[in-house]
């Protein structure tokens, strides 16, 4: 199984700015561990704390540093115009595809959701997938084949049981938060999933993808910096679960 890594966002020590050097090192480290691709600006990236300009900067750095490895960009935003703008920017700078949800803080009818998706696809100029479901459509409305893993295999791997920019499947690969441990370590977790499932789900359920992702970077020896306030780093309880999983999977 090939893994896409939903990347965390490296900041400077005071978290006031993005760190280009740390971001380049992060991608290089994951490539060395077998990453098949990257997803940027997902929940793991602390997208809640990023400006639109910062999201665009991360996209540009990711495409540059990936050296041809696929980069998928989460372009979910508050307005249709912002989603289209981010999609167009991703296209201009060489991203492989974009993924998105409907704008938050509004409930769209099925017809409205379809119109929103059509607008993004028509004006975004890039391969795209929307993860929203409607009452009349049980599957995500997508234009590339997200969610095509066999049901049993997807259930086996899913951590959050939710189709988002941090966790979705493609014809020959999967994006999952467990890839924060490195694609090679994620494969080991999958091979021994019954032994790790409860702890891994507890870890992400307790700490969230971005806290766990940054704590996992420390295990990989990657200097990534802290989470951006007011959010804090993974707490002691989460760290204990992480240590338990990491020590066992590493020794195996």
Q: Tell me how far the alpha carbon of residue 190 is from its chain's centroid.
A: 18
Q: Can you read off the two tokens belonging to residue 64?
A: 């540059």
The mean predicted confidence, pLDDT, of the chain is 86
What is the fold, at CATH topology level, of the domain defined by 2-251? TIM Barrel (3.20.20)
- Torsion sign over Cα 64, 165, 210, 88: positive
| Residue that the structure tokens 């999977």 belong to | 249
Residue 250: pLDDT above 90?
no
Compute, in degrees rounded to 10, the torsion defined by CA atoms 185, 188, 194, 198: 0
Strand partners, 13: none
Q: The whole model's pTM is what?
A: 0.89
Task: Give the per-residue pLDDT at 238.
Answer: 97
249 vs 61: CA distance, rounded Å: 31
Percentage of the residues of the chain whose pLDDT score is greater than 70:
87
User: What are the φ/ψ torsions at residue 155 (nearest 5 degrees)?
Assistant: -60, -35
Domain locations along the chain: 2-251
Q: Can you read off the two tokens belonging to residue 19?
A: 């760190």
Q: Which residues contact 19 (CB under 8 A, 6 or more apart)?
A: 10, 11, 12, 225
Residue 230: pLDDT above 50?
yes
44 vs 30: CA distance, rounded Å: 15
Burial status of residue 67 (CB atoms within 10 A of its CB: 0-12, 13-18, 19 or more): exposed
Strand (E) or helix (H) holding 198: helix 193-219
Task: Give the per-residue pLDDT at 213.
Answer: 97
Tens of pLDDT, residue by residue over 108-146, are: 888 888 889 889 989 998 888 887 754 444 443 333 333
- 3-class SS at 240? helix
**Helix residue ranges per DSSP H, 43-150:** 52-66, 80-92, 110-124
Q: Tell me how far the alpha carbon of residue 123 is from its chain's centroid.
A: 24
6 vs 174: CA distance, rounded Å: 10
209 vs 159: CA distance, rounded Å: 10
| Residue that the structure tokens 């996209």 belong to | 59
Tens of pLDDT, residue by residue over 24-50, are: 999 999 999 999 999 999 999 999 999
Could you tell me which of 153, 152, 112 has the C-alpha nearest to residue 132? Answer: 112
């Amino acid at each position: 199984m090939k893994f896409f890594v939903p990347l965390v966002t490296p900041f400077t020590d005071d978290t006031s700015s993005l760190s280009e050097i740390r971001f380049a090192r992060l991608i290089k480290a994951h490539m060395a561990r077998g990453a098949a691709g990257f997803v940027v600006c997902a929940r793991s990236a602390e997208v809640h704390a990023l400006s639109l300009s910062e999201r665009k900067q991360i996209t540009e750095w990711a495409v540059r540093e990936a050296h041809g490895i696929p980069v998928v960009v989460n372009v979910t935003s508050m307005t249709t115009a912002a989603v289209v703008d981010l999609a167009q920017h991703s296209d201009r700078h060489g991203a492989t595809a974009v993924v998105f949800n409907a704008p938050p803080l509004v409930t769209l009818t099925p017809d409205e959701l379809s119109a929103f998706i059509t607008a993004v696809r028509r004006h975004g100029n890039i391969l795209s997938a929307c993860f929203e479901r409607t009452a009349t459509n049980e599957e995500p409305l997508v234009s590339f084949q997200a969610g095509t893993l066999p049901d049993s295999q997807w259930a086996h791997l899913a951590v959050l049981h939710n189709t988002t920019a941090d966790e979705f499947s493609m014809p020959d690969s999967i994006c999952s938060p467990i890839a924060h441990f490195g694609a090679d370590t994620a494969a080991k977790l999958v091979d021994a999933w019954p032994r790790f499932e409860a702890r891994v789900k507890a870890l992400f359920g307790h700490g969230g993808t971005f806290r766990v992702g940054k704590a996992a970077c420390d295990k990989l020896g990657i200097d990534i910096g802290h989470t951006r306030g007011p959010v804090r780093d993974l707490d002691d309880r989460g760290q204990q679960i992480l240590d338990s999983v990491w020590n066992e999977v590493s020794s195996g």
